[in-house]
Amino acid sequence: MDYYQLAIDRKSTREFREKDVAPELIAEIKDYFKQCKRLIPSIDVELKAVDPDTSPMMNGCVGYKDLLIEAPAYLLLLSEPADNYLENAGFIGEDLVLKLTDMELDSCWVTINEPDKLAERFKIGGGKVPAGLIAFGYAKPGIGSSGRLDIINMSNVNLKKRSGAVAPKLYINDALYSEDLGIADNPAILDTYTDLYKGLIAACCAPSFLNRQPYRFIIKGGKFILVALPDNESEDRDELIGLGIVMLNFDRTLTQRSGIYKGWVMGAPEGEIELPENGRIVAYYNI
């Protein structure tokens, strides 16, 4: 799997064809789950496949405004509710999403609005809770292959065309701050960290709730720092899963290209760090 290229190629699909996913493909993704990357390996996570016969049980519990995206199949991540379990679910789930992309299957993250109700309906036990949900199958022909919805709120929705060129949703100069919080005037800082550039592009291509992308990055003192920004449109669960997705795209692209990095460290590094207004540090990477 070429994580960098898959992060660029992946697109969210909200309308699926009525075409079954072959059992051997579902078996392949279940098999891949056993080896896919974890942000926090100590957290116990299971994968449950949901088929169209049982998917109606999710109605009223999941989806934007509780509207379930109809798909031929779903992947439901069940997690021990430990610290950072939602970020971990986003990290694992996005590895699955990129595997689906590599298998030429289309997918979309689905919001879980009422995890307790969903757990009750599926009789989930063992101390685990629903953490992440992914719909997948084969996309209907349409805007998904050439366009992307940017939803500011329900009265402000735009369709942007995707070009064939590498074009992150959030451009590097807007996403990345140097030590003085002003990389726009000093883009040459990336020349010092040549391995980072494609990792940054992959991170900026990460999907987020309503395409809000409420995060930024800071480079300071040999640390690459992920900062979450406040976003009134995103629920806490979606925000945390989205941060896990960002961390997966960055980590896998960077590590695959260099092989020398040791992964994310949750929390803030030592020392004072000037943050964007109301920003909070999620994790950092030693670069």
* Residue 213 neighbours by CB distance under 10 Å: 24
Q: CA nearest 131: which of 59, 210, 216, 45?
A: 45
Return d(Cα 214, Cα 227) in angstroms, integer. Answer: 9
Q: Can you give the pLDDT at residue 235? A: 66
Provide long-range contacts, Cβ within 8 A and 24+ apart, for 231-236: 233/151, 233/152, 233/153, 233/209, 234/208, 234/209, 234/210, 235/111, 235/113, 235/209
Question: pLDDT class for 222, splitting at 50, 70, 90?
Answer: confident
Instruction: Decide the pairing of beta strands 45-50 and 156-161.
Output: unpaired
Return d(Cα 73, Cα 138) in angstroms, integer. Answer: 10
Q: Are 138 and 16 in contact (CB under 8 A)?
A: yes
Give the residue range(s) of CATH 3.40.109.10 domains in the chain: 3-143
Q: Can you give the pLDDT at residue 177? A: 74
Return d(Cα 266, Cα 284) in angstroms, integer. Answer: 7
Question: Kind and range of the H or E element at 248?
Answer: helix 236-258
Q: Model's pTM, two decimal places?
A: 0.86
In this predicted structure, which of 29-43, 79-93, 183-197, 273-287 has the lowest mean pLDDT? 183-197
pLDDT tens figures, 228-273: 998 766 568 999 999 999 999 999 999 887 777 789 999 999 988 8
pLDDT tens figures, 177-220: 765 544 444 556 566 556 778 888 899 899 887 677 889 999 88
CATH number (3.40.109.10, 3.40.50.980, 3.40.50.2000, 3.40.50.300) of 3-143 reads 3.40.109.10
* Residue 210 neighbours by CB distance under 10 Å: 19
Biggest CA pair distance of the chain = 55
Q: CA nearest 173: which of 143, 200, 193?
A: 200
All residues at 6 or more sequence positions from 20 whose CB lies less than 8 Å from its CB, including other chains: 72
Question: pLDDT class for 171, splitting at 50, 70, 90?
Answer: low
